Structure 1
Amino acid sequence: MTLPAPSPRRTVSRLTALGALVALTGCGGGETKVMSLAELSDRSLTFALADVDDAETPDAQGAHRFTVSYSVTAEGPCSRFADDVTATLNGQPMTLVSGGASDVGGRSEACENSRAYFNFDPAAWGREPVEDITVQLQDATSTVRLVVLKAKAKRKFTFQGEGTPDKLRVGQAYAFLWEPATEVPGPVEALLLREGGRAPGVLSVTQDGNKATIDIPAGTPQANHTLTMGADLVGTVGECTGVASCSGAIFHSQDFVLSVVP
Protein backbone atom coordinates (compact mmCIF):
# COMPACT_ATOMS: atom_id res chain seq x y z
CA MET A 1 0.00 0.00 0.00
CA THR A 2 1.51 3.32 -1.03
CA LEU A 3 0.10 6.37 0.69
CA PRO A 4 0.33 9.92 -0.63
CA ALA A 5 3.62 11.54 0.24
CA PRO A 6 3.07 14.01 3.09
CA SER A 7 3.52 17.68 2.29
CA PRO A 8 4.55 20.30 4.90
CA ARG A 9 0.87 21.03 5.56
CA ARG A 10 -0.21 17.44 5.84
CA THR A 11 0.79 17.01 9.48
CA VAL A 12 -2.95 17.18 10.15
CA SER A 13 -3.24 13.73 8.60
CA ARG A 14 -3.26 11.07 11.27
CA LEU A 15 -2.16 8.26 8.99
CA THR A 16 -0.66 6.11 11.73
CA ALA A 17 -3.49 3.59 11.46
CA LEU A 18 -3.02 3.42 7.70
CA GLY A 19 0.74 3.15 7.93
CA ALA A 20 0.37 0.20 10.29
CA LEU A 21 -1.08 -1.77 7.40
CA VAL A 22 2.35 -2.03 5.83
CA ALA A 23 4.36 -2.36 9.01
CA LEU A 24 7.67 -4.14 8.82
CA THR A 25 7.81 -6.24 11.98
CA GLY A 26 10.49 -8.56 13.23
CA CYS A 27 9.82 -12.20 12.40
CA GLY A 28 11.50 -15.56 12.73
CA GLY A 29 14.78 -15.24 10.88
CA GLY A 30 13.29 -13.53 7.85
CA GLU A 31 11.73 -16.82 6.72
CA THR A 32 8.78 -16.66 4.30
CA LYS A 33 6.09 -19.31 4.26
CA VAL A 34 3.32 -19.56 1.67
CA MET A 35 0.18 -19.79 3.80
CA SER A 36 -3.40 -20.58 2.93
CA LEU A 37 -6.23 -18.45 4.29
CA ALA A 38 -7.06 -21.30 6.65
CA GLU A 39 -3.53 -21.13 8.06
CA LEU A 40 -3.94 -17.37 8.53
CA SER A 41 -7.25 -17.71 10.38
CA ASP A 42 -5.66 -17.03 13.80
CA ARG A 43 -4.43 -13.60 12.71
CA SER A 44 -6.22 -10.26 12.83
CA LEU A 45 -7.36 -8.26 9.82
CA THR A 46 -6.94 -4.49 9.83
CA PHE A 47 -8.70 -2.23 7.34
CA ALA A 48 -8.27 1.42 6.42
CA LEU A 49 -10.09 3.76 4.08
CA ALA A 50 -7.97 6.71 2.93
CA ASP A 51 -9.90 9.58 1.33
CA VAL A 52 -7.39 12.40 0.75
CA ASP A 53 -8.41 15.34 -1.44
CA ASP A 54 -5.04 17.01 -1.99
CA ALA A 55 -5.11 20.24 -4.00
CA GLU A 56 -1.49 19.80 -5.16
CA THR A 57 -1.70 16.16 -6.26
CA PRO A 58 -5.40 15.20 -6.51
CA ASP A 59 -4.62 11.88 -8.20
CA ALA A 60 -1.78 10.79 -5.92
CA GLN A 61 -1.34 7.03 -5.64
CA GLY A 62 -3.21 5.70 -2.63
CA ALA A 63 -5.15 8.93 -2.01
CA HIS A 64 -8.49 7.17 -2.41
CA ARG A 65 -7.95 3.59 -1.31
CA PHE A 66 -9.43 0.84 0.87
CA THR A 67 -6.92 -1.66 2.24
CA VAL A 68 -7.18 -4.84 4.29
CA SER A 69 -4.04 -6.25 5.86
CA TYR A 70 -3.13 -9.33 7.86
CA SER A 71 -1.20 -8.95 11.09
CA VAL A 72 2.33 -10.29 11.35
CA THR A 73 3.67 -12.34 14.25
CA ALA A 74 6.90 -11.83 16.13
CA GLU A 75 7.57 -15.56 16.18
CA GLY A 76 7.40 -15.89 12.41
CA PRO A 77 7.44 -17.08 9.78
CA CYS A 78 6.49 -14.25 7.44
CA SER A 79 3.28 -15.08 5.60
CA ARG A 80 2.88 -14.98 1.84
CA PHE A 81 -0.42 -15.43 0.03
CA ALA A 82 -0.80 -18.62 -1.98
CA ASP A 83 -1.23 -18.19 -5.74
CA ASP A 84 -4.92 -19.07 -5.68
CA VAL A 85 -5.97 -16.30 -3.27
CA THR A 86 -8.45 -13.80 -4.71
CA ALA A 87 -9.97 -10.69 -3.15
CA THR A 88 -12.97 -8.54 -4.04
CA LEU A 89 -14.58 -5.37 -2.71
CA ASN A 90 -18.33 -5.28 -3.35
CA GLY A 91 -17.72 -7.79 -6.12
CA GLN A 92 -14.90 -5.85 -7.81
CA PRO A 93 -11.35 -7.27 -7.88
CA MET A 94 -8.79 -5.97 -5.41
CA THR A 95 -5.03 -5.80 -5.94
CA LEU A 96 -3.14 -8.41 -3.91
CA VAL A 97 0.23 -7.79 -2.25
CA SER A 98 1.50 -11.22 -1.28
CA GLY A 99 3.79 -10.13 1.57
CA GLY A 100 6.74 -12.03 2.99
CA ALA A 101 10.24 -11.38 4.29
CA SER A 102 11.61 -7.96 3.44
CA ASP A 103 15.00 -6.29 3.59
CA VAL A 104 13.59 -2.75 3.33
CA GLY A 105 15.80 -0.39 5.31
CA GLY A 106 18.35 -3.13 5.81
CA ARG A 107 16.08 -5.11 8.14
CA SER A 108 16.74 -8.63 6.92
CA GLU A 109 14.39 -10.16 9.50
CA ALA A 110 11.33 -8.01 8.78
CA CYS A 111 7.92 -9.14 7.56
CA GLU A 112 5.82 -7.23 5.07
CA ASN A 113 2.09 -7.68 5.59
CA SER A 114 0.02 -9.82 3.26
CA ARG A 115 -2.73 -7.47 2.09
CA ALA A 116 -5.16 -6.37 -0.60
CA TYR A 117 -6.28 -2.92 -1.69
CA PHE A 118 -8.85 -1.24 -3.90
CA ASN A 119 -8.47 2.22 -5.45
CA PHE A 120 -11.89 3.85 -5.64
CA ASP A 121 -13.11 6.64 -7.91
CA PRO A 122 -14.05 9.52 -5.59
CA ALA A 123 -16.32 11.11 -8.20
CA ALA A 124 -18.22 7.84 -8.69
CA TRP A 125 -18.55 7.25 -4.96
CA GLY A 126 -19.84 10.80 -4.61
CA ARG A 127 -22.67 10.06 -7.06
CA GLU A 128 -23.56 6.65 -5.66
CA PRO A 129 -25.59 5.92 -2.50
CA VAL A 130 -23.92 5.17 0.82
CA GLU A 131 -23.46 1.41 1.17
CA ASP A 132 -21.66 -1.19 3.24
CA ILE A 133 -18.21 -2.27 2.09
CA THR A 134 -17.98 -6.05 1.73
CA VAL A 135 -14.53 -7.56 1.27
CA GLN A 136 -14.12 -11.24 0.49
CA LEU A 137 -10.83 -13.15 0.30
CA GLN A 138 -11.01 -16.70 -0.93
CA ASP A 139 -8.81 -19.68 -1.78
CA ALA A 140 -9.24 -23.44 -1.94
CA THR A 141 -9.21 -23.75 1.86
CA SER A 142 -11.30 -20.92 3.24
CA THR A 143 -13.33 -17.74 2.75
CA VAL A 144 -12.66 -14.57 4.72
CA ARG A 145 -15.46 -12.04 4.82
CA LEU A 146 -15.40 -8.49 6.20
CA VAL A 147 -18.36 -6.09 6.17
CA VAL A 148 -17.82 -2.46 7.22
CA LEU A 149 -21.17 -0.78 7.70
CA LYS A 150 -21.95 2.35 5.63
CA ALA A 151 -18.28 2.76 4.75
CA LYS A 152 -18.71 3.16 0.98
CA ALA A 153 -19.20 6.91 0.82
CA LYS A 154 -17.33 9.97 -0.40
CA ARG A 155 -16.45 12.00 2.68
CA LYS A 156 -16.23 15.77 2.44
CA PHE A 157 -16.18 18.97 4.44
CA THR A 158 -18.91 21.31 3.20
CA PHE A 159 -18.62 25.06 3.84
CA GLN A 160 -21.52 26.58 5.75
CA GLY A 161 -22.85 30.10 6.16
CA GLU A 162 -22.35 33.30 4.19
CA GLY A 163 -19.60 33.79 1.65
CA THR A 164 -17.48 31.12 -0.02
CA PRO A 165 -14.57 28.96 1.18
CA ASP A 166 -12.16 30.62 -1.25
CA LYS A 167 -12.14 33.93 0.65
CA LEU A 168 -11.96 34.04 4.44
CA ARG A 169 -11.68 37.16 6.56
CA VAL A 170 -9.21 37.80 9.36
CA GLY A 171 -10.70 37.49 12.83
CA GLN A 172 -13.84 35.66 11.75
CA ALA A 173 -15.10 32.13 12.35
CA TYR A 174 -16.25 29.70 9.65
CA ALA A 175 -18.15 26.43 9.87
CA PHE A 176 -17.79 23.23 7.86
CA LEU A 177 -19.97 20.10 7.97
CA TRP A 178 -18.53 16.60 7.67
CA GLU A 179 -20.56 14.45 5.30
CA PRO A 180 -22.16 11.91 5.43
CA ALA A 181 -24.09 13.74 8.14
CA THR A 182 -24.79 10.46 9.96
CA GLU A 183 -21.10 10.19 10.95
CA VAL A 184 -19.35 12.02 13.77
CA PRO A 185 -15.58 12.10 13.15
CA GLY A 186 -12.98 13.53 15.32
CA PRO A 187 -11.43 15.37 16.54
CA VAL A 188 -11.31 17.57 13.44
CA GLU A 189 -7.98 19.30 12.90
CA ALA A 190 -7.16 22.25 10.66
CA LEU A 191 -3.94 23.71 9.26
CA LEU A 192 -3.42 26.94 7.34
CA LEU A 193 -0.33 27.23 5.14
CA ARG A 194 0.58 30.50 3.45
CA GLU A 195 1.53 30.26 -0.22
CA GLY A 196 5.29 29.93 -0.34
CA GLY A 197 5.41 29.42 3.42
CA ARG A 198 7.34 26.70 5.17
CA ALA A 199 5.40 26.01 8.36
CA PRO A 200 1.62 25.61 8.58
CA GLY A 201 -0.31 27.23 11.39
CA VAL A 202 -2.60 25.12 13.54
CA LEU A 203 -6.07 26.67 13.72
CA SER A 204 -8.43 26.52 16.67
CA VAL A 205 -11.33 24.15 15.93
CA THR A 206 -14.60 23.97 17.84
CA GLN A 207 -16.55 20.80 17.08
CA ASP A 208 -20.24 20.06 17.65
CA GLY A 209 -21.05 16.61 16.28
CA ASN A 210 -20.24 16.67 12.57
CA LYS A 211 -19.93 20.49 12.52
CA ALA A 212 -16.44 22.02 12.85
CA THR A 213 -15.89 25.75 13.28
CA ILE A 214 -12.49 27.32 12.66
CA ASP A 215 -11.18 30.76 13.64
CA ILE A 216 -8.94 32.82 11.36
CA PRO A 217 -6.54 34.50 13.81
CA ALA A 218 -6.23 38.28 13.74
CA GLY A 219 -2.53 38.11 12.88
CA THR A 220 -2.97 35.90 9.81
CA PRO A 221 -1.12 37.38 6.78
CA GLN A 222 -3.42 38.67 4.05
CA ALA A 223 -2.31 36.36 1.26
CA ASN A 224 -3.14 33.15 -0.58
CA HIS A 225 -3.27 30.09 1.66
CA THR A 226 -4.17 26.40 1.65
CA LEU A 227 -6.53 25.28 4.39
CA THR A 228 -6.31 21.55 5.17
CA MET A 229 -9.02 19.97 7.31
CA GLY A 230 -8.87 16.35 8.40
CA ALA A 231 -10.41 13.82 10.74
CA ASP A 232 -10.85 10.10 11.16
CA LEU A 233 -13.34 7.72 12.71
CA VAL A 234 -13.47 4.08 13.69
CA GLY A 235 -15.09 1.83 11.09
CA THR A 236 -18.10 -0.18 12.27
CA VAL A 237 -17.68 -3.92 11.61
CA GLY A 238 -20.89 -5.70 10.73
CA GLU A 239 -19.34 -9.08 9.90
CA CYS A 240 -15.93 -10.64 10.41
CA THR A 241 -15.41 -14.32 9.53
CA GLY A 242 -12.38 -16.42 8.71
CA VAL A 243 -9.94 -14.44 10.90
CA ALA A 244 -9.46 -13.87 14.63
CA SER A 245 -10.67 -10.26 14.57
CA CYS A 246 -11.32 -7.24 12.33
CA SER A 247 -10.83 -3.55 13.08
CA GLY A 248 -9.94 -0.38 11.28
CA ALA A 249 -10.46 3.29 10.56
CA ILE A 250 -11.65 5.80 7.97
CA PHE A 251 -9.61 8.93 7.30
CA HIS A 252 -10.51 12.00 5.24
CA SER A 253 -8.65 15.23 4.62
CA GLN A 254 -9.52 18.03 2.23
CA ASP A 255 -7.75 21.11 0.91
CA PHE A 256 -9.30 24.52 0.30
CA VAL A 257 -7.24 26.99 -1.74
CA LEU A 258 -8.25 30.43 -0.51
CA SER A 259 -7.34 34.05 0.12
CA VAL A 260 -7.25 35.58 3.55
CA VAL A 261 -8.59 39.14 3.33
CA PRO A 262 -9.05 41.96 5.86
Structure 2
Amino acid sequence: MHSSSRFRGGVVSGVLAALGLLAAGCGSSLKEQDVDLAGLSGRTLLYTHADVDLFELEQAAGSHRVTVTFSQAGGDVCTRLNEGVTATFNGEPMQVERGGVDGTAGRDLCLPTRAFLDYDPDEWAALPPTDARVVFQDGSGTTITVVMKEAQAKRSFDGVSDVQRLLRGQSYSYQWMPSTEKLESAGATLLAEGSAVTATLTTTRDGGRITFTVPPNLGAATHLLTVKGQVQGEVLECTGVTSCSGTYFHSEEQVVSVQ
Protein backbone atom coordinates (compact mmCIF):
# COMPACT_ATOMS: atom_id res chain seq x y z
CA MET A 1 0.00 0.00 0.00
CA HIS A 2 2.59 2.52 -1.19
CA SER A 3 3.26 4.71 -4.26
CA SER A 4 6.21 4.62 -6.63
CA SER A 5 8.38 7.74 -7.00
CA ARG A 6 7.60 7.59 -10.74
CA PHE A 7 4.10 8.86 -9.96
CA ARG A 8 4.78 10.68 -6.68
CA GLY A 9 3.85 14.23 -7.70
CA GLY A 10 0.33 13.30 -8.77
CA VAL A 11 -0.21 10.98 -5.85
CA VAL A 12 0.73 13.40 -3.09
CA SER A 13 -1.53 16.19 -4.37
CA GLY A 14 -4.38 13.71 -4.81
CA VAL A 15 -4.03 12.40 -1.28
CA LEU A 16 -4.08 15.91 0.20
CA ALA A 17 -7.24 16.72 -1.70
CA ALA A 18 -8.88 13.45 -0.72
CA LEU A 19 -8.13 13.82 2.97
CA GLY A 20 -9.04 17.50 3.19
CA LEU A 21 -5.81 18.34 4.98
CA LEU A 22 -5.84 22.06 4.16
CA ALA A 23 -7.16 24.33 6.93
CA ALA A 24 -10.25 26.39 6.19
CA GLY A 25 -11.80 29.49 7.68
CA CYS A 26 -9.96 32.75 8.33
CA GLY A 27 -10.45 36.25 9.61
CA SER A 28 -8.47 39.30 10.69
CA SER A 29 -10.22 39.86 14.05
CA LEU A 30 -11.17 36.45 15.44
CA LYS A 31 -12.03 36.36 19.13
CA GLU A 32 -10.79 33.25 20.92
CA GLN A 33 -13.06 31.83 23.59
CA ASP A 34 -12.27 28.95 25.94
CA VAL A 35 -15.10 26.43 26.42
CA ASP A 36 -15.60 23.23 28.37
CA LEU A 37 -17.06 20.08 26.82
CA ALA A 38 -20.59 21.10 27.87
CA GLY A 39 -20.07 24.33 25.93
CA LEU A 40 -20.01 22.30 22.71
CA SER A 41 -23.47 20.79 23.26
CA GLY A 42 -25.01 23.04 20.60
CA ARG A 43 -22.58 21.89 17.90
CA THR A 44 -22.73 19.09 15.34
CA LEU A 45 -20.23 16.25 15.04
CA LEU A 46 -18.75 15.02 11.77
CA TYR A 47 -17.17 11.55 11.71
CA THR A 48 -14.77 11.01 8.78
CA HIS A 49 -12.93 7.82 7.91
CA ALA A 50 -9.93 8.10 5.56
CA ASP A 51 -8.61 4.86 4.06
CA VAL A 52 -6.05 5.72 1.35
CA ASP A 53 -3.93 2.85 0.06
CA LEU A 54 -0.86 4.06 -1.86
CA PHE A 55 1.36 2.05 -4.19
CA GLU A 56 5.05 1.70 -3.21
CA LEU A 57 5.41 4.82 -1.05
CA GLU A 58 5.70 5.24 2.69
CA GLN A 59 2.26 5.81 4.15
CA ALA A 60 1.39 9.52 4.11
CA ALA A 61 0.33 11.07 7.42
CA GLY A 62 -3.42 10.78 7.83
CA SER A 63 -3.91 8.25 5.04
CA HIS A 64 -5.50 5.77 7.47
CA ARG A 65 -7.23 7.98 10.02
CA VAL A 66 -10.52 8.39 11.84
CA THR A 67 -11.36 12.03 12.68
CA VAL A 68 -14.30 13.40 14.68
CA THR A 69 -14.74 17.16 14.27
CA PHE A 70 -17.00 19.64 16.08
CA SER A 71 -18.62 22.35 13.98
CA GLN A 72 -17.37 25.92 14.40
CA ALA A 73 -19.01 28.56 16.62
CA GLY A 74 -19.52 30.86 13.64
CA GLY A 75 -19.15 34.60 13.26
CA ASP A 76 -15.94 36.10 14.62
CA VAL A 77 -15.79 33.73 17.61
CA CYS A 78 -13.24 30.92 17.59
CA THR A 79 -13.54 28.49 20.49
CA ARG A 80 -10.77 26.51 22.15
CA LEU A 81 -11.55 23.46 24.25
CA ASN A 82 -10.32 23.48 27.83
CA GLU A 83 -7.54 21.11 28.77
CA GLY A 84 -8.36 17.76 30.34
CA VAL A 85 -10.83 16.45 27.76
CA THR A 86 -10.20 12.90 26.58
CA ALA A 87 -11.51 10.99 23.57
CA THR A 88 -11.55 7.25 22.90
CA PHE A 89 -12.28 5.06 19.88
CA ASN A 90 -13.71 1.73 21.07
CA GLY A 91 -11.76 2.32 24.27
CA GLU A 92 -8.50 3.24 22.52
CA PRO A 93 -7.13 6.76 23.23
CA MET A 94 -7.47 9.35 20.46
CA GLN A 95 -5.40 12.49 20.03
CA VAL A 96 -7.43 15.58 20.95
CA GLU A 97 -6.82 18.89 19.18
CA ARG A 98 -8.40 21.71 21.20
CA GLY A 99 -8.83 24.15 18.32
CA GLY A 100 -8.53 27.92 18.59
CA VAL A 101 -6.91 30.79 16.72
CA ASP A 102 -3.70 30.07 14.81
CA GLY A 103 -1.88 33.09 13.41
CA THR A 104 1.28 31.36 12.18
CA ALA A 105 0.23 31.60 8.52
CA GLY A 106 0.30 35.40 8.59
CA ARG A 107 -3.45 35.66 9.10
CA ASP A 108 -5.78 34.28 11.73
CA LEU A 109 -7.14 30.79 11.11
CA CYS A 110 -9.85 29.25 13.29
CA LEU A 111 -8.79 25.67 13.86
CA PRO A 112 -11.61 23.23 14.70
CA THR A 113 -11.89 21.17 17.85
CA ARG A 114 -11.42 17.52 16.90
CA ALA A 115 -9.96 14.14 17.82
CA PHE A 116 -8.29 11.62 15.57
CA LEU A 117 -6.90 8.10 15.56
CA ASP A 118 -4.38 6.69 13.06
CA TYR A 119 -5.15 2.99 12.61
CA ASP A 120 -3.29 -0.01 11.19
CA PRO A 121 -5.11 -1.01 7.96
CA ASP A 122 -3.67 -4.53 8.01
CA GLU A 123 -4.89 -5.03 11.56
CA TRP A 124 -8.38 -3.82 10.67
CA ALA A 125 -8.45 -5.99 7.54
CA ALA A 126 -8.04 -9.09 9.71
CA LEU A 127 -11.14 -8.21 11.79
CA PRO A 128 -14.86 -8.37 10.95
CA PRO A 129 -16.62 -4.99 10.52
CA THR A 130 -17.34 -3.52 13.97
CA ASP A 131 -19.35 -0.53 15.16
CA ALA A 132 -17.18 2.43 16.17
CA ARG A 133 -17.91 4.18 19.48
CA VAL A 134 -16.23 7.55 20.04
CA VAL A 135 -16.58 9.05 23.52
CA PHE A 136 -15.48 12.52 24.68
CA GLN A 137 -15.28 13.08 28.45
CA ASP A 138 -14.02 15.68 30.90
CA GLY A 139 -13.59 15.93 34.66
CA SER A 140 -17.07 17.40 35.18
CA GLY A 141 -18.79 14.21 34.08
CA THR A 142 -19.90 15.63 30.72
CA THR A 143 -19.95 12.98 27.98
CA ILE A 144 -20.43 13.30 24.22
CA THR A 145 -20.85 10.06 22.27
CA VAL A 146 -21.20 9.07 18.64
CA VAL A 147 -21.56 5.47 17.43
CA MET A 148 -21.15 4.68 13.72
CA LYS A 149 -22.33 1.41 12.20
CA GLU A 150 -19.47 -0.90 11.12
CA ALA A 151 -17.09 2.07 10.92
CA GLN A 152 -14.15 -0.01 12.17
CA ALA A 153 -13.58 -1.87 8.92
CA LYS A 154 -11.01 -1.94 6.11
CA ARG A 155 -12.64 -0.69 2.91
CA SER A 156 -11.49 -1.88 -0.53
CA PHE A 157 -12.47 -2.26 -4.17
CA ASP A 158 -12.54 -5.96 -4.94
CA GLY A 159 -10.09 -6.83 -7.72
CA VAL A 160 -8.20 -3.54 -8.13
CA SER A 161 -5.05 -4.86 -6.43
CA ASP A 162 -5.00 -7.81 -8.86
CA VAL A 163 -5.35 -5.95 -12.17
CA GLN A 164 -2.19 -5.86 -14.31
CA ARG A 165 -3.44 -4.71 -17.70
CA LEU A 166 -6.20 -2.49 -19.08
CA LEU A 167 -7.30 -2.49 -22.72
CA ARG A 168 -8.25 0.76 -24.43
CA GLY A 169 -11.96 0.96 -25.20
CA GLN A 170 -12.83 -1.75 -22.65
CA SER A 171 -14.99 -1.32 -19.55
CA TYR A 172 -14.04 -2.51 -16.07
CA SER A 173 -16.07 -2.88 -12.87
CA TYR A 174 -15.00 -3.13 -9.24
CA GLN A 175 -17.12 -3.79 -6.15
CA TRP A 176 -16.81 -1.67 -3.02
CA MET A 177 -16.31 -3.75 0.10
CA PRO A 178 -18.16 -4.22 2.43
CA SER A 179 -20.65 -4.98 -0.33
CA THR A 180 -23.62 -3.99 1.86
CA GLU A 181 -22.67 -0.31 1.57
CA LYS A 182 -23.90 1.91 -1.27
CA LEU A 183 -21.52 4.34 -2.93
CA GLU A 184 -22.46 7.99 -2.52
CA SER A 185 -19.73 9.10 -4.93
CA ALA A 186 -16.92 7.41 -6.85
CA GLY A 187 -14.24 8.12 -9.43
CA ALA A 188 -11.25 6.69 -11.28
CA THR A 189 -8.14 8.22 -12.86
CA LEU A 190 -5.11 7.14 -14.89
CA LEU A 191 -1.72 8.84 -14.63
CA ALA A 192 0.90 7.92 -17.25
CA GLU A 193 4.43 7.24 -16.05
CA GLY A 194 6.48 10.44 -16.25
CA SER A 195 3.42 12.59 -16.89
CA ALA A 196 1.88 15.33 -14.76
CA VAL A 197 -1.51 15.14 -16.51
CA THR A 198 -4.12 12.86 -14.94
CA ALA A 199 -6.85 11.38 -17.13
CA THR A 200 -10.20 11.43 -15.33
CA LEU A 201 -12.31 8.47 -16.43
CA THR A 202 -16.06 8.57 -16.98
CA THR A 203 -17.63 6.37 -14.30
CA THR A 204 -21.03 4.99 -13.37
CA ARG A 205 -22.25 3.67 -10.01
CA ASP A 206 -24.67 0.86 -9.28
CA GLY A 207 -25.07 0.31 -5.56
CA GLY A 208 -21.54 -0.45 -4.43
CA ARG A 209 -20.09 -1.10 -7.90
CA ILE A 210 -18.09 1.38 -9.97
CA THR A 211 -17.65 0.94 -13.74
CA PHE A 212 -15.39 2.91 -16.08
CA THR A 213 -14.23 2.70 -19.69
CA VAL A 214 -10.59 3.21 -20.69
CA PRO A 215 -10.50 5.98 -23.38
CA PRO A 216 -9.75 4.49 -26.85
CA ASN A 217 -7.36 7.35 -27.64
CA LEU A 218 -5.28 6.98 -24.46
CA GLY A 219 -1.62 6.37 -25.15
CA ALA A 220 -0.25 2.89 -24.56
CA ALA A 221 2.02 3.14 -21.51
CA THR A 222 2.44 2.23 -17.88
CA HIS A 223 -0.14 4.09 -15.80
CA LEU A 224 -1.08 4.53 -12.17
CA LEU A 225 -4.74 3.57 -11.77
CA THR A 226 -6.57 5.20 -8.84
CA VAL A 227 -10.08 4.12 -7.86
CA LYS A 228 -11.89 5.99 -5.09
CA GLY A 229 -15.28 6.13 -3.45
CA GLN A 230 -17.22 7.42 -0.49
CA VAL A 231 -20.24 6.12 1.40
CA GLN A 232 -22.52 7.77 3.93
CA GLY A 233 -22.07 6.33 7.40
CA GLU A 234 -25.04 5.26 9.50
CA VAL A 235 -25.27 6.90 12.94
CA LEU A 236 -26.46 4.46 15.62
CA GLU A 237 -26.10 6.80 18.61
CA CYS A 238 -25.51 10.54 19.05
CA THR A 239 -25.64 12.09 22.51
CA GLY A 240 -24.46 15.39 24.00
CA VAL A 241 -24.56 17.40 20.75
CA THR A 242 -27.23 18.62 18.32
CA SER A 243 -26.58 16.02 15.62
CA CYS A 244 -23.98 13.64 14.16
CA SER A 245 -23.12 12.53 10.64
CA GLY A 246 -20.32 10.62 8.99
CA THR A 247 -18.64 9.46 5.79
CA TYR A 248 -16.21 6.66 4.92
CA PHE A 249 -13.71 7.41 2.14
CA HIS A 250 -11.45 4.87 0.43
CA SER A 251 -9.05 5.01 -2.50
CA GLU A 252 -6.45 2.60 -3.80
CA GLU A 253 -3.83 2.57 -6.51
CA GLN A 254 -2.36 0.00 -8.83
CA VAL A 255 0.28 0.27 -11.56
CA VAL A 256 -1.17 -1.11 -14.79
CA SER A 257 -0.17 -1.50 -18.42
CA VAL A 258 -2.60 0.26 -20.77
CA GLN A 259 -2.63 -1.44 -24.15
> What is the TM-score normalised by the length of structure 2?
0.88
**Paired residue type of 1:176:** Y
Report percent identity of matched pairs: 38
Out of 216, 236, 248, the position equivalent to 1:238 is 236
Quote the residue 1:189 is aligned against: 187
Q: 1:148-187 alignment to 2 at 5 Å?
A: 148-159=148-159, 164-187=162-185
Tell me if 1:250 matches 2:252.
no
Partner residue, 1:51 = 51
Structure 1 stretches lacking a partner, 5+ long: 1-5
Matched length:
250
Preserved CA contact (<8 Å) 1:228 1:256: yes
CA contact (8 A) 1:26 1:74 kept: no
Cα 1:40–1:64, aligned 2, differ >3 Å: closer, same or farther?
same
- What per-residue deviation string (whole Å, max 9, x for no partner) do you get for residues 62-120 of structure 1? 00001011111234532222221000001000011111111143223x32111110001
**CA 165–203 in structure 1, closer or farther in 2 if over 3 Å, else same:** same
State whether residues 73 and 79 of structure 2, in contact with CA within 8 Å, keep that contact through their aligned partners in structure 1: no
Q: Which residue of 2 aligns with 1:86?
A: 86
What corresponds to 1:66 in structure 2?
66
With normalisation by structure 1, the TM-score equals 0.87
Question: Which letter maps to 2:10?
Answer: P
Deviation (angstroms), 1:11:
7.6
**CA pair 143-26 structure 1, distance change in 2 beyond 3 A:** farther
2:201 alignment partner, one of 200, 203, 211: 203
Give the residue type in structure 2 aligned to 1:24: G
- Report the CA distance between 1:9 and its aligned residue: 5.5
Task: Report SS of the residue matched to 2:122.
Answer: helix
Q: Matched residues in 1 for 2:69 and 2:22: separation? A: 6
Letter in 1 for 2:32: T
Aligned partner letter, 1:87: A
In 2: Cα distance, 1:55 partner to 1:150 partner: 26
Does structure 2 retain, via aligned residues, the 8 Å contact 1:24–1:113? no
User: Which residue is equivalent to 1:8?
Assistant: 10
> C-alpha root-mean-square deviation of aligned residues, in Å?
2.4
